[in-house]
Structure formats: C-alpha cells, structure tokens
Amino acid sequence: MEPSWKTLQDIIQENFPNIVRQANIQIQEIQRMPQRYSSRRATPRHILVRFTKVEMKEKMLRAVREKGQVTHKGKPIRLTADLLAETLKARREWGPIFNSLNYVTTRPALQEILKEALNMERSNQYQPLQKHAKM
C-alpha cells in the first residue's frame, strides 16, 4: 500500500469513523506535492486527493467543518478544497466587499442607506432606453 494512501486512511479512520462505515470511499488519484525547501524547518508535504465522486469530497469537507479541528497522530492538520488560482484570486478581491457588508449589516442606520443606494442603482439600471428627439 502506498504511504500517501495509508496516511489518508489513518486520517479518515481517526477523525471520521462514521463516514468509513456509511460510505465506500473510492479514490481516483492520490499524490504528494513536491516539498518546498525551507532552511528554518522541515515542512511536511501536501497530499492531493481526487475522489471518484464529488459527493464524497463534499461529505468529507462538511465533516471537517463540523468537527472543527482534524488531527493526525494527535497533531492538528488542515483539510481544504484545492481551488483554481482564478477562484482564489476572486475570493481575495471579494473579501473587503464582504467585510464591508458585514460591518453594514450590524448597524441598522447603515443598512437603510445601503438599501436606498441599491434600489436607486436597480432603478437606473433597468430603465428602458428613450428615443432621442430629432431636431
């Protein structure tokens, strides 16, 4: 058995034994990422896993969010979805906007101003084009 597969199997068994019992986990591909050189400390290598069914990936990530902290041999680790560079860039760009909206939603006076601004924007955006009068 490949070491990456064994490591993943240990992580799943340690943290999510109910998923192992409920579903047959089928993996399409598993590989370790190349290690990045760090002179200060030895960094562990990432393991990239591709499941045969998207539902299994979603089930695993949902279980990770519910549990909070995932461990391997008693040490905390992170399990995340591997996203495209464009998706990560878009999330970074939208971050300040969502933070501002979160700030606004906690203050009722600012909520009213935002609603009025959005309504004005909508009404301006959907007005039919008027024909220009010929002179």
- The CATH class given to the 3-77 domain equals alpha beta
Does this model's pTM top 0.95? My answer is: no
Q: Where are the domains of the chain?
A: 3-77, 85-125
- pLDDT value of position 129: 47
Give the N- to C-terminal CA distance of the chain in Å, as an integer: 84
Per-residue pLDDT of the chain (135 residues; tens, 9 = 90+): 577 778 888 888 888 888 777 777 777 877 777 776 666 766 677 778 888 888 888 888 888 888 888 888 888 888 878 777 887 788 788 878 777 777 777 777 777 777 787 777 666 654 554 444 454
- pLDDT value of position 12: 83
If 0-12 CB within 10 Å is exposed, 13-18 middle and 19+ buried, where does residue 51 land? middle
C-beta separation of 92 from 85 below 8 A: no
- pLDDT value of position 17: 82
CA distance 94 to 120: 22
